[in-house]
């Protein structure tokens, strides 16, 4: 039996060295003091548990690893170093059966289960302290199906997805960051440059293989209640998706951008710019996306478009040009090259990001925006960003078929801040200002938040993420994960 275990470990090691399933290398597995508390203490040593499981079952569907294994540290590496956790066991699965087996073992051992695809959860809800993490790294392939549909493994990264689809002249609407996993982004929504035209990533799921928290495997499609639940309410809540089937769209012929910059802003000028941006943002055609990014006193406004220009787009650029310091524009026919510009940082860093509310119009934030902007312009390194939503995201058919609840809003905002290792005082200061702004929005009544931009500090997170759909999701949780095996601090209760 020992040999079998050794053999399996060798196979995994080979896969790891060949680059499968490893998204980041050379990172520490440092644990922040505040994260060291164990959620559920493991009664036996993890190594002993793994040995017992492997004595009991000979399975090629899953390999269990503990901190003693060479590959453990790499598999336990996540994008956000600030929220690093320390699981007892990683179940590296090869297929849906492996997920099922891992869940059943975790239930027997009374271990909480988390699910990791791309490892980009802001709060690291894809890991835990002292429990089991089902690592999907090996499920990262893309297969073409009829009607230009694609079957994608959840651990496929967005850059891998674009690299496969774009040369075939197809796109799937998704986010811009290259190293985000298809699994997490899809199950919480998924917006980006193409969403106002083609909907959220989750709106484009045709079917999925889903292993529930009771260990049962389901093939779901059509009007199955799980399809509704997975579209916006599926990340880490009541089970694991091991495969998605998506529809795709023809790649556009070009991808243009205009980037406007304004420097040395004070609160008043930032407000005028924001108000002007809001005025036009929701009128843009579906082929456009825009982001207002205020980083301390410096503002960048990005406007992208992948169809012909329209009068409203021209008007928006003209109005903002008058208020900004510089403008650059480019029309790109190499779509893959254009998207690569937005892939972002591809190695783990220390940061705090979180949703800062959904809005429909400027008046939604008028009550607190003076204080918010004053705080941002006086805090170098604090970023307040607002992104356009709307368009196809808000179509009625998408609303009824998914548990993603925020269809009536035109804008989504977020707060971001970054620091380096050892900058504890800077971090604490940022976190204080972060909380101050979150409270301003909360008191102003901006309570809806994006599930994929979670914050452990959100009050009423259940309704903030899921709105009126929370109760229906609770019923699904009770049915498909009766012992609350798959869970994290903000999973459906
Ligand atoms: C740098 C950066 C850029 C981003 N850009 C965008 C963007 O442009 N648009 C956008 O919409 N979002 C964006 N996001 C947010 C992103 O969508 C979420 O962080 C997403 O949850 C990450 O998915 P993941 O698979 O990489 O993460 P993971 O940490 O692996 O998982 C995230 C969550 O999903 C759950 N989960 C993962 N896989 C599965 C599965 N197979 N079955 C069930 N549950 C699963 C996990 O339990 C966890 O709760 C960005 C995030 C970062 C860090």
Structure token pair of residue 315: 């008007």
Across the range 185-194, mean pLDDT stands at 98
Task: Name the residue ranges covered by the structural domains of the chain.
Answer: 2-135, 142-251+468-480, 255-454
Across the range 319-330, mean pLDDT stands at 98
Instruction: Decide if pLDDT at 260 tops 80.
Output: yes
Across the range 274-294, mean pLDDT stands at 97
Spacing, Cα 46 to ligand 1 middle (Å): 27
pLDDT value of position 134: 98
The residues near 3 (Cβ < 8 Å, ≥ 6 apart) are none
CB environment 241-255: b (16+ within 10 A), e (fewer)? bbbbbbbbbebbeeb
Structure token pair of residue 310: 């329209």
How many residues are present in the chain? 493
Tens digits of per-residue pLDDT, 151-170?
999 999 999 999 999 999 99
Atom of ligand 1 nearest to the CA of 136: 41
Instruction: Decide if pLDDT at 369 tops 90.
Output: yes
pLDDT value of position 45: 81
Q: What average pLDDT is seen over the chain?
A: 92
Instruction: Decide if pLDDT at 12 tops 50.
Output: no
Q: Which residues lie across from 62 on neighbouring strands?
A: 93
Instruction: Decide if pLDDT at 38 tops 80.
Output: no
Instruction: Decide if pLDDT at 189 tops 90.
Output: yes
Tens digits of per-residue pLDDT, 289-313?
999 999 999 999 999 999 999 999 9
Q: Which of 235, 387, 453 to mutate to test the pocket of ligand 1 (most atoms within 8 A of CB)?
A: 235
Q: Which of 308, 171, 322, 335 is nearest to 249 (CA)?
A: 171
The residues near 439 (Cβ < 8 Å, ≥ 6 apart) are none
pLDDT value of position 285: 98
The architecture CATH gives domain 2-135? 2-Layer Sandwich (3.30)
Q: What fold does the segment set 142-251+468-480 form as a domain?
A: 3.30.465
Distance between CA 342 and CA 193 in Å, rounded?
Answer: 10
CATH of domain 255-454: 3.40.462.20
Q: Do 313 and 288 contact (CB within 8 A), yes or no?
A: yes
Distance between CA 80 and CA 86 in Å, rounded?
Answer: 13
What is the band of 43 on the pLDDT scale with cuts at 50, 70, 90? low
Instruction: Decide if pLDDT at 54 tops 60.
Output: yes
What is the band of 1 on the pLDDT scale with cuts at 50, 70, 90? very low
Atom of ligand 1 nearest to the CA of 155: 25
Tens digits of per-residue pLDDT, 78-104?
999 999 999 999 999 999 999 999 999
Across the range 52-70, mean pLDDT stands at 85
Q: Do 457 and 195 contact (CB within 8 A), yes or no?
A: no
Across the range 467-481, mean pLDDT stands at 98
Q: Do 120 and 346 contact (CB within 8 A), yes or no?
A: no
The Cα diameter of the chain in Å comes to 73
Q: Do 341 and 179 contact (CB within 8 A), yes or no?
A: no
Beta strands in 84-228 (DSSP E): 89-93, 113-116, 132-135, 142-144, 150-152, 170-171, 205-212, 217-221
pLDDT value of position 124: 98
Q: Which of 473, 474, 441, 445 is nearest to 457 (CA)?
A: 441
Torsion of CA 462, 465, 469, 475, to 10 degrees: -50
Q: Which of 421, 415, 490 is nearest to 32 (CA)?
A: 421
pLDDT value of position 46: 82
Distance between CA 289 and CA 281 in Å, rounded?
Answer: 8
* Residue 167 burial (10 A CB sphere; 0-12, 13-18, 19+): exposed
What is the band of 407 on the pLDDT scale with cuts at 50, 70, 90? very high
Spacing, Cα 121 to ligand 1 middle (Å): 5
What is the band of 30 on the pLDDT scale with cuts at 50, 70, 90? very low
Give the range among 58-62, 420-424, 461-465 with minimum mean pLDDT: 58-62
3-state secondary structure 190-227: CCCCCHHHHCCCHHHEEEEEEEECCCCEEEEECCCHHH
Q: How large a percentage of the chain has pLDDT more than 90? A: 88
Distance between CA 94 and CA 405 in Å, rounded?
Answer: 33
Across the range 30-57, mean pLDDT stands at 58
Instruction: Decide if pLDDT at 454 tops 60.
Output: yes
Atom of ligand 1 nearest to the CA of 154: 41
DSSP assignment string, 50-87: HHHHHHH---SSEEEE-TTSTTHHHHT--SBGGG----
pLDDT value of position 126: 98
Residue corresponding to tokens 């309704």: 463
Q: Which residues lie across from 299 on neighbouring strands?
A: 262, 294
Atom of ligand 1 nearest to the CA of 183: 38
Ordered alpha helix ranges (H), 209-297:
225-233, 267-281
CB environment 409-439: b (16+ within 10 A), e (fewer)? bbbbbbbbbbbeeeeeeebebbeebbeebbe
Spacing, Cα 344 to ligand 1 middle (Å): 15
What is the band of 34 on the pLDDT scale with cuts at 50, 70, 90? very low
pLDDT value of position 18: 41
Distance between CA 61 and CA 278 in Å, rounded?
Answer: 51
Question: What 3-state class would DSSP assign to 334?
Answer: coil
Residue corresponding to tokens 């164990």: 38
Please list the helix, strand and coil fractions of the chain in percent, rounded to the nearest 5, in that order.
40, 20, 40
Distance between CA 325 and CA 269 in Å, rounded?
Answer: 12
What is the band of 14 on the pLDDT scale with cuts at 50, 70, 90? very low
Instruction: Decide if pLDDT at 214 tops 60.
Output: yes
What is the band of 51 on the pLDDT scale with cuts at 50, 70, 90? confident
Q: Which of 139, 140, 178, 183 to mutate to test the pocket of ligand 1 (most atoms within 8 A of CB)?
A: 183
Distances in Å between the Cα of 434 and the Cα atoms of 213, 381, 383 are 35, 11, 10
pLDDT value of position 10: 52
pLDDT value of position 6: 54
- Residue whose CA is at the smallest distance from ligand 1 atom 37: 184
pLDDT value of position 323: 98
| Whole-structure pTM value | 0.92
Distance between CA 361 and CA 372 in Å, rounded?
Answer: 16
């Amino acid at each position: 039996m020992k040999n079998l275990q050794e053999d399996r470990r060798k196979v995994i090691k080979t896969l790891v060295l060949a680059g499968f399933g490893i998204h980041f290398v050379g990172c520490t597995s440092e644990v922040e003091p505040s994260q060291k508390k164990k959620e559920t203490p493991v009664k036996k040593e993890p190594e002993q548990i793994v040995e017992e499981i492997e004595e009991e079952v000979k399975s090629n569907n899953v390999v269990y690893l503990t901190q003693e294994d060479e590959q453990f540290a790499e598999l336990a590496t996540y994008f956000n170093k600030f929220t690093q956790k320390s699981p007892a066991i990683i179940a590296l699965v090869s297929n849906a059966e492996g997920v099922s087996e891992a869940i059943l073992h975790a239930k027997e051992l009374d271990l909480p289960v988390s699910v990791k695809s791309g490892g980009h959860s802001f709060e690291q809800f894809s890991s835990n302290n002292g429990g089991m993490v089902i690592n999907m790294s090996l499920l990262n392939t893309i297969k073409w199906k009829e009607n230009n549909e694609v079957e994608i493994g959840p651990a496929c990264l967005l850059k891998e997805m674009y690299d496969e689809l774009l040369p075939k002249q197809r796109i799937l609407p998704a986010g811009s960051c290259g190293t985000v996993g298809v699994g997490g982004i899809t199950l919480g929504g998924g917006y980006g440059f193409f969403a106002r035209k083609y909907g959220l990533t989750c709106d484009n799921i045709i079917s999925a293989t889903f292993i529930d928290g009771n260990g049962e495997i389901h093939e779901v499609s059509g009007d199955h209640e799980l399809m509704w639940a997975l579209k916006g309410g599926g990340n880490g809540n009541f089970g694991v998706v091991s495969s998605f089937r998506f529809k795709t769209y023809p790649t556009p012929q070009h991808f243009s951008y205009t980037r406007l910059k304004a420097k040395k802003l004070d609160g008043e000028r930032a407000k005028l710019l924001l108000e002007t941006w809001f005025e036009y943002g929701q009128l843009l055609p579906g082929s456009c996306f825009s982001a207002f990014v205020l980083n301390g006193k410096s503002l960048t406004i990005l406007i992208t478009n992948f169809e012909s220009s329209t009068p409203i787009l021209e008007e928006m650029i003209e109005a903002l040009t008058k208020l900004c310091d510089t403008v650059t524009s480019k029309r790109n026919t190499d779509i893959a090259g254009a998207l690569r510009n937005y892939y972002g940082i591809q190695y783990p860093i220390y940061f705090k990001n979180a949703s800062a509310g959904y809005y429909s119009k400027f008046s939604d934030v008028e009550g607190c925006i003076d204080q918010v902007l004053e705080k941002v312009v006086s805090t170098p390194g604090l970023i307040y960003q607002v992104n356009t939503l709307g368009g196809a995201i808000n179509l009625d058919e998408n609303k009824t078929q998914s548990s993603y609840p925020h269809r009536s809003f035109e804008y989504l905002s977020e707060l971001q801040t970054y620091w380096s290792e050892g900058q504890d005082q800077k971090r604490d200061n940022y976190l204080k200002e972060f909380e101050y702004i979150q409270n301003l929005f909360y008191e102003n009544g901006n309570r809806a938040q994006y599930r994929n931009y979670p914050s452990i500090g959100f009050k009423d997170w259940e309704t903030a993420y899921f709105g009126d759909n929370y109760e229906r999701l609770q019923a699904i949780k009770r049915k498909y994960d009766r012992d609350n095996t798959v869970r994290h601090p903000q999973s459906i209760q």
